[in-house]
A and B are shown apart, each in its own frame.
Chain A
Amino acid sequence: DGGITQSPKYLFRKEGQNVTLSCEQNLNHDAMYWYRQDPGQGLRLIYYSQIVNDFQKGDIAEGYSVSREKKESFPLTVTSAQKNPTAFYLCASSMGGLRPQHFGDGTRLSIL
């Protein structure tokens, strides 16, 4: 079945370490997104990409980096510069325009 796969489901990081979250989609979608969700809050946009080899900052990009070398993949790196990385991270994709976004099941990142 087509969908979006995020891995791992749970991730632990030591302070000062960078960590990369994986997001893969087989929906042939052009656009991909990364969101962060904190307890009891709505989603906030970190980065988005509308096409391969191009991406733009969202509302809270500081401390994060992304790449879009393949249409299917949009990995997110949480760097040591992100001071409060503990959160639920969600990846989404869409055909673009007004078409709805489809979400993965998220990665929960915690600091040891």
Chain B
Amino acid sequence: DAKTTQPPSMDCAEGRAANLPCNHSTISGNEYVYWYRQIHSQGPQYIIHGLKNNETNEMASLIITEDRKSSTLILPHATLRDTAVYYCILRSAGNNRKLIWGLGTSLAVNP
């Protein structure tokens, strides 16, 4: 599976949109982009995933560039409870087990 690159940390004001970037320039055609987040001392929580189309659910939106080499997770109205480490992960359709976890982005939402 290809690797991802994320900034180590970001800040966001409460109530504003948080835009978390992820670079995956070596992504292959059958790899999906997954986003999880981990609040301190808890298990990771699934947020969203996509292949090439933009996706939206009740938690966030995922924007994937046309060349699929990068993506952005958008939290439209960040709250203090969104403070967490956000992981961008690639996963291929043919590989059930393999999630390669990087260091993620530590997002701090400030009042």
Q: Which residues on A are within 8 Å of B, measured CB to CB?
A: 4, 6, 31, 33, 35, 40-45, 48, 50, 56, 58, 88, 90, 92, 96-98, 100-106, 108
Contacts and interface: CB of A to CB of B under 8 A. Distances in A.
B44 interface: yes
Interface stretch (B14-22, B61-69, B72-80, B96-104): B96-104
Given A100-B36, A103-B45, A106-B43, 15 more contacts: A31-B96, A41-B103, A42-B101, A42-B102, A43-B101, A50-B97, A56-B97, A90-B43, A90-B44, A92-B44, A97-B96, A100-B34, A100-B49, A102-B46, A106-B41
Closest 10 CB pairs of A and B: A103-B43, A42-B101, A100-B46, A43-B101, A48-B97, A105-B43, A103-B44, A42-B102, A104-B43, A105-B42
A25 to B, nearest CB: 12
A45 B102 contact: no
Interface of B: 32, 34, 36, 41-46, 49, 87, 91, 93, 96-104
Nearest to B97: A48
| A interface, over-half SS | strand
A98 B32 contact: yes
B103 A42 contact: yes
Nearest to A58: B97
Nearest to A106: B43
Contacts of B44: 43, 90, 92, 103
Contacts of A4: 43
